[in-house]
């Protein structure tokens, strides 16, 4: 019996996205998933301080077919300093994790996403910039992720 993983690389691939302004009271695409499903881990780092005032942020899988799925619960990122970084726990119901001490725990498990986009959703219009890096393993032959 040939296992499906024997036909794909299990070495994670890295896709970086340069620092961008936060979406303003909406969701904006960070990455595009195409060609099939992938297992992902994603990390963000503040490069320009986040403006004061409540701003709940979350990551969302926005599939081409089907309904959006929150990859995490929201986190208020008000006044987050340069160098703060964010990551998922690997459990969809958990809030996005904020690390301000220069070290943190990596995502415990990968999250499977379908073709579509991975979006950053902010519920307020605040200034600030975050750069993102995503690691993925394709599940389906030909699956890939690129910065949006």
Range(s) of the domain holding residue 123: 12-147
Taking the C-alpha atoms of residue 139 and residue 37, their distance in angstroms, rounded to an integer, is 5
The stretch 4-12 carries a mean pLDDT of 62
Residue 7 located in a structural domain: no
Render pLDDT for 55-96 as a digit per residue (tens, 0 to 9). 999 999 999 999 999 999 999 999 999 999 999 999 999 999
Is residue 22 predicted with pLDDT exceeding 50? yes
Q: 5 falls in which pLDDT band (50, 70, 90)?
A: very low
pLDDT over 90, % of the chain: 86
Residue 5 located in a structural domain: no
Give the number of domains in the chain.
1
Taking the C-alpha atoms of residue 53 and residue 87, their distance in angstroms, rounded to an integer, is 21
Give the pLDDT score at 108.
87
Taking the C-alpha atoms of residue 3 and residue 8, their distance in angstroms, rounded to an integer, is 10
Residues near 145 by beta carbon (within 8 Å), at least 6 away in sequence? 13, 15, 31, 32, 33, 34, 38, 40, 118, 134, 136
Residue 95 located in a structural domain: yes
pTM over 0.85: yes
The stretch 16-24 carries a mean pLDDT of 96
Residue 1 located in a structural domain: no
Residue for token digits 């301080």?
49
Residue 3 located in a structural domain: no
List the CATH number of the domain containing 63: 2.60.120
Residue 112 located in a structural domain: yes
Is residue 148 predicted with pLDDT exceeding 60? yes
Residue 31 located in a structural domain: yes
């Amino acid at each position: 019996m040939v296992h499906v993983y024997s036909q794909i690389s299990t070495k994670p691939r890295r896709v970086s996205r340069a620092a961008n302004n936060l979406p303003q009271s909406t969701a904006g695409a960070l990455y595009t998933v195409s060609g099939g499903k992938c297992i992902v881990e994603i990390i963000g780092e503040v490069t320009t301080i986040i403006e004061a005032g409540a701003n709940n942020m979350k990551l969302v899988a926005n599939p081409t077919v089907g309904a959006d799925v929150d990859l995490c619960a929201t986190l208020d990122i008000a006044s987050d300093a340069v160098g703060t970084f964010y990551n998922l726990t690997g459990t969809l119901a958990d809030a996005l994790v904020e690390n301000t001490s220069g070290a943190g725990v990596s995502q415990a498990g990968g999250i499977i996403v379908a073709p579509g986009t991975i979006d950053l959703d902010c519920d307020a219009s605040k200034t600030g910039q975050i750069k993102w890096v995503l690691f993925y393993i394709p599940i389906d032959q030909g699956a890939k992720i690129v910065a949006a």
